[in-house]
Amino acid sequence: MITIALLVLSFQVTDQVQTISTEEYFSLSYLSSCAISPSGKYTAWTEGRWDEELDKRNTDIWIIETNSPSGEPLRLTFDKASDGSIQWGADDSWLYFSSKRGSEGDELPRNGKKQVWRIKPDGTQLMAVTRLADGSGDWKLSQDGKSLYYLTSEETQIDDAWKTLRKKHDEVEYAFGLVDYSELWKLDLSTWKTVSIWNEDKVIQYFSPSPDETKIALITTPDTRLITNEGWSTLGIYDVVGKETILLNDTLWRAEAPSPYGWVESPKWASDGTRLAFSVDFDGFPRNMYVATFFEKEVTIQKVNRVNNGTLGTSPVWVPNSYDLLYIAEQKTTRPLLQIESVGNNKQGKTKEIIKNSLICWDFSISKNTNEIVALVGSQIMLTTVVKTSSDANFVEILANPNSHISNWKLPTIQTVQWKAIDGTTIEGVLELPNGYVLGEDPPLPMYVHLHGGPTSSVTVALEFSMYGRGLLSSDGWAILSPNYRGSTGYGDTFITDLVGRENDIEVEDILAGVDAMVERGVADPEKLAVGGWSNGGYLTNCLIVETDRFKAASSGAGVFEQTMQWSIEDTPGHVVNYAEGLPWEVPDELQRMSPLFEADTISTPTIIHVGAGDARVPAEQSKALFRALHDYLDVPTQLVIYPGTGHGLSKMSHRKAKIEWDNAWLTYWIENPERD
């Protein structure tokens, strides 16, 4: 193990001679979660690796002794089963996780459905905890580790005037009337007996048993459609003995919120059961955290202040046996881990930094008995690693680095850059330059403008290798500019809300000002510019190629082309309503102004278009409309790539390889052939 300041990382300086290709990209491990054992002795994490036979990443569980100087990682699981949701029991004896082992039709518990499993820290005694024919939904261990709570669901006919007709004609599909209602169960891990705890005509999105198991916090929706999270969800406290649910007063996140479409998420009890933390997320508005304090029959609810107006990056969790909250913040191009002292009863104390500066924190876990913290952290010159925090927020101790093989790769130089918007606002972004490139000595580069999704999101300064361009295009000699335009997180609440009512306007100006700045500074060759992005980045690509012809090539991934259609067919229409400040029949002119479609006749940029055939967030019809406009009516060079069996993200290995290679070929061709045949 090595104690380091990731600001320097001098230990990682080696001869960087290996060029980075598509094959190198698929050699990388992806770390998604970590969990430290109650005593702090062990740290486990989930690690995904690409599997060509499965045509996707498969996730397994690894473990290491947290405080052993000579500790070596031990792989616990090997099945092609997408292991995840790791949780320790009451002590270090068992590590619980969910997994889809086996195949459909096989005998329980290896029937291809999600079951809860457990394993010893030495990799022995793997056993199934649940054996459910249809698998388990979300699950939680009780605080004492003696019980497992889990969800199941069953399709139910709504009892209305049309129930008989639906049953009679059950060979067709219905948009409404059939709901997979939730049932919450409790499994005693000593007697292995199961009892139903809650079974009402609602869908449980989140649940959290109180430490004494007398109450359960429930976030429920009327049905399983994602749209019902947008303002239709409720947060209630279920009395297990009295079998009654008391709904918490939602004034703070409904009536007094800037939008009624907030998603209530992730309730967590403090160790003594007197306080409940949760978060509410919005499209277009800041994510906030709240704490409910329970005193006898009284409940007070407060919005927790975020230090320096930073953005909430993750839902908060309690420090064991205290009223302190931990959460990852988004601050400009970094993600620090912060701790707020003494939260509750309408009060909160000071905020201190646990991980800060150039340390980019993605996940964390705190031990129940020792309060030791482990995390998944990256930096400008290191991919995400497993670390333990120290008393100095600038330093961490590396426990495991699954991607150490990249030390001889020709890694790009990554830095945060700033420029002024037209209205004088400072805009930031991340600039990635090829290995060995010297600004001011070497000639300007072809530059790819990479646009992040969201837009309530941001790009960090962390090293990454992405099918969207980061880390790969720079290895082919490109500069990559990733702007955190207006609407991005990490720059204060006003910076986020400035975009409301101004999509396809203010953020487009911010991006183009950044391009101008990179040209003026000698980074970018003005005759060799390209642009692209996915989701909201695809939408902005469409906006930009309408606005200007300065880009020689574009890659539009899962991007909106027409906003009224987007409201009509996507699974979370509150996004459109928030930014347009109204419904289609209320603000038709604004929705038209936001839509690239109505000025598509100005497009001349050769554009490759990508979309998943089953994308529910930005359905394929948007990309098909863009292709029709360019190919059939405007005679603009284009290609539409549709990925079958895929949703909003490309999870298949073959699909990612296709996108990477198509983008590389398309961008290179049009940069080198600006005459455009």
Residue 533 DSSP SS3: strand
The reported pLDDT for the residue numbered 12 is 47
CA distance 210 to 144: 11
**Residue at 74 is within a domain:** yes
Residue 1 clears pLDDT 60, i.e. is over it? no
**Residue at 658 is within a domain:** yes
Beta strands 638-643; 607-612: pairing state? parallel
Q: What is the pLDDT of residues 614-644, one digit of tens each?
A: 999 999 999 999 999 999 999 999 999 999 9
In this prediction the pTM is 0.96
Rama region for 344: left / alpha / beta (φ>0; ψ in -120 to 50; rest) = left
The reported pLDDT for the residue numbered 674 is 65
Indicate whether 614 and 643 sit together in one domain.
yes
Q: For residue 157, give the nearest of 174, 143, 141 by alpha carbon.
A: 174
**Residue at 522 is within a domain:** yes
CA distance 43 to 578: 41
Q: List, in sequence order, every beta strand (DSSP E) within 174-315.
A: 178-188, 194-198, 203-209, 215-221, 234-239, 244-247, 263-269, 275-281, 288-295, 298-304, 311-312
The reported pLDDT for the residue numbered 236 is 98
For the chain, the domain total comes to 2
Q: For residue 368, give the nearest of 6, 35, 72 by alpha carbon.
A: 35
% of the chain at pLDDT higher than 70: 97
pLDDT band at 2 (very low <50, low <70, confident <90, very high): very low
Average pLDDT in the chain: 95
Residues 6+ apart with CB under 8 A from 13: none
The reported pLDDT for the residue numbered 69 is 81
Indicate whether 468 and 591 sit together in one domain.
yes
Locus of tokens 């204060």? 492
Q: What is the pLDDT of residues 517-533, one digit of tens each?
A: 999 999 999 999 999 99
Cα angle: 579, vertex 582, 584; to 5 degrees: 105
Complete DSSP assignment for 373-422: EEEEEEETTEEEEEEEE-SSTTEEEEEE-TTGGGGGB-PPEEEEEEEE-T
Task: Tell which of 405, 440, 474 closes a domain.
Answer: 405
Indicate whether 379 and 471 sit together in one domain.
no
The reported pLDDT for the residue numbered 673 is 79
Mean pLDDT of 29-43: 98
CA distances from 645 to 172, 459, 619, 649 (A): 21, 28, 13, 11
Indicate whether 605 and 458 sit together in one domain.
yes
Q: What is the pLDDT of residues 427-440, one digit of tens each?
A: 999 999 999 999 99
The reported pLDDT for the residue numbered 214 is 97
Indicate whether 445 and 516 sit together in one domain.
yes
Mean pLDDT of 208-228: 97
pLDDT band at 675 (very low <50, low <70, confident <90, very high): low
Indicate whether 472 and 512 sit together in one domain.
yes
Structural domain harbouring 584 = 410-672
Indicate whether 61 and 28 sit together in one domain.
yes
The reported pLDDT for the residue numbered 9 is 41
CA distance 624 to 561: 9
Locus of tokens 């990309």? 623
Looking up residue 420, the CATH number of its domain turns out to be 3.40.50.1820
Alpha carbon dihedral 342, 343, 349, 353, in 10-degree steps, equals: 90
pLDDT band at 17 (very low <50, low <70, confident <90, very high): confident
The long-range contacts involving 179-182, CB below 8 angstroms and separated by at least 24 positions, are: 179/155, 179/203, 179/222, 179/223, 179/224, 180/153, 180/154, 180/155, 180/156, 180/223, 180/224, 181/153, 181/154, 181/156, 182/137, 182/151, 182/152, 182/153, 182/220
CA distance 268 to 278: 6
**Residue at 244 is within a domain:** no
Indicate whether 382 and 517 sit together in one domain.
no
Task: Tell which of 369, 390, 405 closes a domain.
Answer: 405
Indicate whether 487 and 396 sit together in one domain.
no
Alpha carbon dihedral 640, 646, 649, 653, in 10-degree steps, equals: -90
Q: What is the pLDDT of residues 41-59, one digit of tens each?
A: 999 999 999 999 999 999 9
Cα angle: 443, vertex 14, 363; to 5 degrees: 95
**Residue at 233 is within a domain:** no
Residue 246 DSSP SS3: strand
What tokens does 162 get? 């049309």
According to DSSP, the residues that pair with 638 across neighbouring strands are 607
**Residue at 491 is within a domain:** yes
Burial (CB < 10 A; 0-12, 13-18, 19+), residue 247, is exposed
**Residue at 297 is within a domain:** no
**Residue at 457 is within a domain:** yes
- Chain centroid, CA 276 distance in Å: 23
Indicate whether 484 and 449 sit together in one domain.
yes
Task: Tell which of 342, 373, 405 closes a domain.
Answer: 405
Q: For residue 230, give the nearest of 267, 198, 205, 195 by alpha carbon.
A: 205
Mean pLDDT of 244-253: 97
Q: For residue 45, give the nearest of 68, 1, 76, 81 by alpha carbon.
A: 76
Residue 226 DSSP SS3: helix
Max CA-CA distance within the chain? 77
- DSSP class of 345: T
Neighbours of 353 (CB within 10 A): 17
φ, ψ of residue 539 to 5 degrees: the values are -60, -45
Q: What is the pLDDT of residues 74-107, one digit of tens each?
A: 999 999 999 999 999 999 999 999 999 999 889 9
Indicate whether 444 and 587 sit together in one domain.
yes
Indicate whether 383 and 503 sit together in one domain.
no
Burial (CB < 10 A; 0-12, 13-18, 19+), residue 104, is exposed
